[in-house]
Every structure is written in structure tokens, then in C-alpha cells.
Amino acid sequence: MVSSASRPRIGITTYLEPTIWGVWERDAALLPRVYLDAVVAAGGVPLLLPPVGTDTSVLEVLDGLVIAGGCDVDPAAYDAEPHPETVATRPGRDEHETILIRAALDLDLPLLAICRGLQMLNVALGGTLHQHLPEVVTHDEHRPSPAVFGVTEVKVEPGTLTSRVIGDRASVHCYHHQAIDVVAATLTVTARAGDGTVEAAEVDSHGFALGVQWHPEENPDDLRLFTALTDAALKRRSK
């Protein structure tokens, strides 16, 4: 845990969704609290980044960036026709996160991409996605039922950033029906599930640019990925 005087500022991308609170029903920028709690518990200060008014200058005040999970990525982002199971896409959010990802990588800003975030990282760098993973792996274990997280065993490639953070194997919380198909040229796959699904990938030649297909924010007893992000953010700041 870092001191309050030096806590790194961690930006987190948010959803823009129709929302109801009290007597109001309006579009709102929102994010599950578990992301905020994970960043705070790891020693960071969370700052929310709504998918409107995109301006990469915001990265200049950040020490690290989290690309959060969420809805399906629009297949138009990687020149594909939509699958019948691809629903509730948010092209505006896709564009917003693509801009932030590319700018963060240009700045070598520490980056942690989660679930949809890993998919966006791959797409932003030129990769593609499986739009409906159950058709590929012939099971629904990555998303067992609505609002129920699955548990996936992942095997990590030794000698990678991923392995330095979480070790050679891990049992993780997952909830997704899309996943990486063609891997972007500048990404290296660093973990897979037993069925071959890409579970983690790192951006080549960057200090800390890591994406995971699972949801580390859902396990408050294991904050290693968030702690590694805040540590990398502090090191970058010290330079």
C-alpha cells in the first residue's frame, strides 16, 4: 500500500447507458463499484472517464489506465458482419476506448484491460474477435447464465509479465461470450484456458500493457493485477 501523499491516479473507462435512479430515467455514465474498490484497495485514486468528449490530454493527468468490461464490441470495428448473438453494441464507446488505448500506448502509460477491455485492446491494434465463443469451444462455461460468473482455470506462459504478477496458473472469474480470434501483430498471448481461449495478452515493447479476459475486480481477495498496475504507475511517475 502506498502513502496517501503519493497515490497514483488511475483512470477507468465507463459505460454510457439508459439508467433509472429515484424519479429519473436518463442516460448516465456508470461503472460497477467493484472497479473503484479494487483500485482504492490497491493504493490508487480512481478517476472515471465517460465515453463522451474524448480528449487524450486527460491522460496527461493520469498515472495509469483501466479499460473496463462491458457490452459486445461492434464488429464494424474490425470489418466483420454482426453475428445474431452480438447485441447491445456501443460504437461510440468503442471509438472512445480505441483512441484512449492508442494514446496510452504512445505515452507508455501503464494499462490494464479487463474482459471487453482485452477485446478492445486487440481490436484497436488490428486484431479480430470470435463474436460468439460457445460456437467455437462448444460450451457455455465462460458465461454460464445471465449475471452468473463462471470459473476458468488459466495456464500462463512462463517468463511473461502475466506470470510475474499471478504465477503460472490461476483460477479466475469470467463472464463473456466474445474473445480474441486473430491476435494483433503487436500483442503476445500470455495465458489461455484449457479450451484454447485467449485469457491474457501483453503489448510488445511496453513496460506495463496487459489485458486479461477475466474479471479480477470480482475477487477482492486477489488484487495482484491492480497492485501491479499501481506499482507500475508509481514507477512511471518517479521517472
Q: Which one of 97, 202, 217, 218 is the catalytic residue?
A: 217
Active site residue 174: no
Residue 195 in 3-state DSSP?
coil
Q: Write b or e for each residue in 55-76: b if 16 or more Cβ atoms lie within 10 A of its Cβ, otherwise e.
A: eeeebeebbbbbbbbbbbbbbe
**Contacts of residue 124, Cβ cutoff 8 Å, sequence gap at least 6:** 97, 98, 101, 102, 184
Contact 47, 100 (CB under 8 A): no
| Catalytic annotation, pick one of 115, 142, 176, 202 | 115
217 is catalytic: yes
Q: Cβ neighbours of residue 229 under 8 Å, at least 6 residues apart?
A: 10, 42, 44, 64, 66, 110, 112, 208
Three-class SS state of 188:
strand
- Interacting residues of 139 by C-beta distance below 8 A, sequence separation 6+: 195
Catalytically active residues are 115, 215, 217
